Structure 1
Amino acid sequence: MKVSFDAAGEVVVITGGAQGIGAALARAVTACGGTAVVFDVVKPDVGVDYVEVDVADRASVESAVAMVMARYGRIDGLVAGAAVQPRSTVVEMDPAEWTRTLQVNLDGVVWVCQAVVPHMVARRSGSVVVFTSGMAVTGWAGAAAYASSKAALIAFAKSLAAEVAEHRVRVNIAAPGVIDTEQFRGANAGADREHWQDTIGIGDPEDVVGPLLFLLSDAAAMTGSVLTRERAFPKLTTFAE
């Protein structure tokens, strides 16, 4: 069964969309005829609209969303993907590192939802996707701040979903698994990378695009759900070996 998505006339805001999964999604939205607007501190290489935003700064987020609304008059989808993943043990963790991780990974999602969701409620249409991680359940040595932020996001997204369901705005959660991004490589060098490769496998950013497009589409008649990708699908070259 082949599936295609039509995003003509729709506007999707992607935080953290300059690299990795966000950049792959921005390209896909554009290919589907939609408009992708990337909020990031780094300018993306992909040819999409870009607004320099530090999602931890609530005023910056509000200003960026106002710019998008002034330019396009609508936001149909929001994918809140901006995150940082520092590594240190709990005992050795710098308090500033803990604070910054929660500010970006958790507060940043709250601020962008507060700015975008009222516009969706007013139109009685819209889809929000936030990212969690398997570490939200299992934890991971040296990643307490990241894992904690991702666990909190599940509760936040499910709560928001319950609040706006009557307005036909959907809020779902994606757990993309282990994906080969710059952030992943920076946080999982050496033995950690080998562990992931030898167990559940490491996927590519493009592997996550289809599920994200589905969650953004009208076909995803669900809210408050967690869509989980448990392991990497073997590459086609594997079957030929």
Structure 2
Amino acid sequence: MQNALLGKRVLVTQSGEFMGPMLCEVFAEQGATVVASPEDLADPEAAQRVVLAAGNIDILVANLAFKAPTTSAAEVSEAEWRQVFAALVDPLPRLVRAAVPAMITRRSGKILVIGSASALRGMKRASSYSAARGAQLAYVQAVGVELAPHQIQVNAIAQNFVDNPTYFPAEVQANPRFQERLAREVPLGRLVAAREDAQFAAYLCSEAADCFVGQVFPVCGGWVGR
């Protein structure tokens, strides 16, 4: 729906990574004023700093990216575990603490977490990453229920096999082994286009999606359903 976000002010975190560039592009096309923050959020003070700098926002899109390690479970170090959680999990409550008070006062707001379907289906050599992504989704479900009475909708997209430069750069997509895997594992038979994903994100942040509370939406070309 064109201009579904007209008049809305949207903060997109880590705007240069993962889904950030396409989210910014599509949200702007839908009429939103987009505040694109490229800042890394691992620093405990970063989330508060980014939200304050964005001003009065109607929508927070928590786009958090970290290239998944491929360590076997028995070899995951304490440092790797902490690093993955510091990048993907720890920023979420900080962002919520910074953004939600104004939304509660206004009795309006949306928070969308761009997560991963790796939390919904087992993947070999991805234990630290999948655990962190799973924590994101559990957090969304809990906070979504808590904030719904304040007319704040909190939801998440759990994606995989979506075209983006962080996880599926051009050299990966050009690899014949990857194409074989795509044909074997994804019923859609191709990557979900970044624009398709971002348009769904824009819908979830629009007034048309006010009925969704603490929900997790897989966007993965059918990969989770297999």
Superposition TM-score, scaled by structure 2 size: 0.86
Q: Is 1:4 the counterpart of 2:32 in the alignment?
A: no
From 118, 132, 152, give the equivalent of 1:135: 118
Change (3 A) 1:61 1:204: same
Structure 2 segments unaligned to the other structure (5+ residues): none
Q: Which residue of 2 aligns with 1:229?
A: 219
Q: Which residue of 1 aligns with 2:139?
A: 156
SS at match of 2:60: strand
Higher relative contact order (Cα pairs below 8 Å, separated by 6+ residues):
2
Change (3 A) 1:169 1:140: same
For 2:64 and 2:182, the matched residues in 1 are separated by 22
Q: Which residue of 2 aligns with 1:64?
A: 50
Change (3 A) 1:22 1:133: same
From 92, 108, 121, give the equivalent of 2:91: 108
For 1:126 and 1:193, the matched residues in 2 are separated by 40
From 113, 128, 142, give the equivalent of 1:145: 128
Q: Is 1:83 the counterpart of 2:77 in the alignment?
A: no
**2:99 is matched by which residue type in structure 1?**
V
For 2:70 and 2:156, the matched residues in 1 are separated by 24
Structure 1 vs Structure 2: percent identity of aligned residues? 25
Regions of 4+ moved over 3 Å: 188-194
Q: Is 1:33 the counterpart of 2:31 in the alignment?
A: yes
Q: Which residue of 2 aligns with 1:183?
A: 166
SS at match of 2:41: coil
CA drift of 1:197 comes to 4.2
Equivalent residues, number: 213
**1:120 is matched by which residue type in structure 2?**
M
Query: Residues 203-231 of structure 1, C-alpha deviation per residue, up to 9 Å, x if partnerless?
Result: 22112012101110000022111222241
CA contact (8 A) 2:18 2:65 kept: no
CA drift of 1:193 comes to 5.8
For 1:196 and 1:119, the matched residues in 2 are separated by 43
CA drift of 1:81 comes to 1.3
Q: How large is the Cα RMSD of the aligned pairs? A: 2.0
Query: Residues 36-76 of structure 1, C-alpha deviation per residue, up to 9 Å, x if partnerless?
Result: 11222xxxxxxxxxxxx22122212111211112xxxx211
CA drift of 1:80 comes to 0.9
For 2:121 and 2:150, the matched residues in 1 are separated by 34
**1:78 is matched by which residue type in structure 2?**
L
